[in-house]
């Protein structure tokens, strides 16, 4: 007689989540760490603005279609045949979007497209161009690591994801340490090269870890519904649109800040401000794969919802503590090297990001439930609605320039997060009424 499956507990969710959250928190250190190094190099304001306002947002946008390979691999790498198919699919994506990155970095498309869209100050252009060129390996390396990390998560080896992040940080720190010793005037270029080294090292480690799963538990996995291109595209395109539309917000925020009061100061602060935002939201982003993995467990949705609320409120409280206490000055001035006269602008931006951690946890919760039942379209719709809210908010702040650019940009991103989370909540209520409160997973071609 087969024992009934155990109900999902808070402790089991915690054991799945904390290695992934640790990995994301370590990644969250990366941008503040880079900002801290660049803030201690010559021409700091320009190099920070070039990297944080142009190089990194554009690189993120180009690689955004491959980000959701993590969720796709976690959900669909359930047999050797499907793993191999998804591996080929992920590599086509990586090569294709790396080619697009190269065209923007090495051809006149940089001047024809990126410069008019972002409208960066003239002094940022050459540093931005060189930095974008050195970020060329970024997209294909991200595709490789996220695909193989999805396999590790599916088979319960999420701790290796955290170990890979440590390797990435070490590989990133080496070029930055060289820049600091040399006191290089090309801080944005060193930052871009360092990030490329880091993601390549992490991708290699993830592939090595995935080989053990591929030759062991994956080989013994039962046969499932086979994927083909049509099924995969129906599942993946809404997810890819989700990450793409979401990351469009970063270059849009940069473009908005360029047209607002305190433009150069805001762009220079942006790596530190957005780095803090990412750091406090990253554990919520990590919760997406946890929700995907456990959504189908007995009592899964209720336990996952409780976990997301508790942890989301906890990380929002961390933001409030940093904004209210001397930790704000410690973060921005002492650690990040921001000029003391920009501290009021940075603290105001920190207060504006207060709702973002809880909204990120809740959005990941509803996304995970929708991915589990292969209803991915509402996810991309939610991100589209969130992006529209961001654009409308930024336009309003450009037309009525009453706030510094960094503050206005964070407020706009918070409004967008709220709109996205609201749509996902409404969509899950509608889907759950259609399929029942605890539906069995449906095959990819349904």
Looking at residue 2, its pLDDT comes to 43
- Does residue 441 sit within a domain? no
CA distances from 414 to 302, 365, 393, 398 (A): 26, 18, 10, 17
Looking at residue 434, its pLDDT comes to 79
CB 389 within 8 A of CB 416: yes
Q: Torsion angle, CA of 318/8/443/21, rounded to 10 degrees?
A: 30
Looking at residue 279, its pLDDT comes to 81
Q: Token pair 């990297």 is at which residue?
A: 51
- Does residue 1 sit within a domain? no
Determine the Cα–Cα distance for residues 10 and 155; give it in Å rounded to an integer. Answer: 20
- Does residue 142 sit within a domain? yes
Looking at residue 97, its pLDDT comes to 96
Looking at residue 5, its pLDDT comes to 61
Determine the Cα–Cα distance for residues 56 and 68; give it in Å rounded to an integer. Answer: 18
Domains contained in the chain, number: 1
CA distances from 287 to 18, 121, 319, 353, 399 (A): 9, 38, 18, 19, 37
Determine the Cα–Cα distance for residues 135 and 144; give it in Å rounded to an integer. Answer: 16
Looking at residue 83, its pLDDT comes to 94
Determine the Cα–Cα distance for residues 77 and 73; give it in Å rounded to an integer. Answer: 5
Q: Is 172 helix (H, G, I), strand (E, B) or coil?
A: helix
- Does residue 442 sit within a domain? no
pTM, two decimals, is 0.74
Task: Give me the sign of the Cα torsion angle 404, 406, 409, 411.
Answer: negative
Contacts of 180 (CB under 8 A, 6+ apart): 37, 40, 41
Determine the Cα–Cα distance for residues 343 and 331; give it in Å rounded to an integer. Answer: 10
pLDDT tens, residue order, the chain (446 aa):
444 567 888 888 888 888 888 877 777 778 778 888 998 899 988 998 899 888 988 998 899 889 889 888 988 888 999 999 999 999 999 999 999 999 999 999 999 999 988 888 888 999 999 999 999 999 999 999 999 999 998 888 888 888 898 899 999 999 999 999 999 999 999 999 999 999 999 999 999 999 999 999 998 887 788 888 888 888 888 777 776 766 677 778 877 887 877 777 788 787 788 878 888 888 888 898 889 888 888 888 889 999 999 999 999 999 999 999 999 888 888 877 778 888 888 899 999 999 999 999 999 999 989 988 878 788 888 888 988 999 999 889 888 877 878 888 899 999 999 999 999 999 999 888 876 544 444 444 43
**Which structure tokens are listed for 277?**
């935002």
CA distances from 196 to 56, 59, 132, 190 (A): 11, 11, 11, 10
- Does residue 110 sit within a domain? yes
- Does residue 2 sit within a domain? no
Q: Torsion angle, CA of 126/170/251/270, rounded to 10 degrees?
A: -90
Range of the domain at 367: 10-435
CB 397 within 8 A of CB 258: no
- Does residue 200 sit within a domain? yes
- Does residue 440 sit within a domain? no
Closest C-alpha to 424, from 365, 374, 372, 373: 365
Determine the Cα–Cα distance for residues 125 and 417; give it in Å rounded to an integer. Answer: 31
Phi, psi of 41 (to 5 degrees): -105, 165
């Amino acid at each position: 007689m087969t024992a009934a499956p155990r109900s999902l507990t808070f402790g089991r969710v915690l054991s799945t989540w904390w290695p992934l959250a640790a990995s994301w928190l370590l990644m969250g250190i990366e941008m503040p760490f880079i900002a801290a190094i660049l803030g201690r190099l010559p021409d700091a304001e320009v190099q920070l603005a070039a990297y944080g306002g142009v190089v990194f947002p554009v690189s993120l946008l180009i690689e955004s279609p491959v980000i959701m390979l993590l969720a796709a691999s976690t959900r669909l790498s359930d047999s050797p045949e499907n793993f191999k198919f998804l591996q080929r699919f992920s590599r086509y994506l990586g090569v294709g979007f790396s080619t697009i990155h190269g065209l923007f970095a090495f051809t006149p498309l940089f001047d024809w497209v990126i410069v008019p869209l972002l409208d960066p100050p003239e002094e940022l252009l050459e540093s931005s161009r060189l930095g974008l060129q050195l970020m060329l390996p970024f997209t294909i390396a991200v595709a490789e690591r996220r695909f193989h990390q999805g396999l590790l998560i599916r088979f319960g080896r999420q701790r290796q994801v955290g170990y890979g992040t440590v390797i990435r940080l070490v590989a990133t720190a080496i070029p930055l340490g060289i820049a600091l010793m040399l006191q290089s005037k090309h801080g944005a270029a060193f930052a871009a090269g360092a990030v490329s080294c880091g993601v390549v090292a992490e991708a290699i480690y993830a592939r090595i870890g995935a080989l053990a799963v591929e030759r062991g538990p994956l080989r013994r996995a039962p046969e499932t519904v086979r994927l083909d291109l049509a099924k995969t595209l129906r599942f993946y395109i809404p997810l890819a649109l989700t990450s793409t539309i979401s990351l469009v917000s970063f270059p849009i925020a940069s473009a908005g800040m360029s047209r607002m009061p305190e433009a150069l100061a805001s762009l220079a602060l942006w790596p530190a401000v957005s780095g803090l935002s990412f750091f406090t939201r990253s554990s919520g982003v990590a919760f997406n794969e946890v929700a995907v993995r456990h959504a189908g467990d007995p009592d899964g949705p209720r336990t996952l919802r409780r976990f997301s609320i508790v942890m989301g409120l906890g990380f929002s409280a961390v933001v409030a503590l940093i904004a209210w206490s001397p930790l704000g000055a410690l973060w921005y001035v002492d650690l990040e090297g921001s000029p003391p006269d920009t501290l009021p602008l940075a603290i105001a931006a920190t207060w504006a990001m207060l709702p973002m951690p809880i909204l990120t946890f809740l959005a990941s919760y509803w996304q995970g439930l929708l991915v589990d039942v292969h209803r991915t379209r509402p996810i991309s719709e939610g991100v589209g609605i969130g992006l529209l809210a961001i654009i409308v908010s930024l336009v309003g702040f450009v037309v009525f320039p009453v706030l510094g650019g960094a503050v206005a940009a964070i407020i706009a991103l918070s409004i967008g997060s709220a709109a996205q989370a609201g749509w996902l909540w409404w969509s899950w209520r509608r889907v759950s009424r259609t399929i029942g409160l605890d539906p069995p997973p449906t095959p990819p071609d349904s």
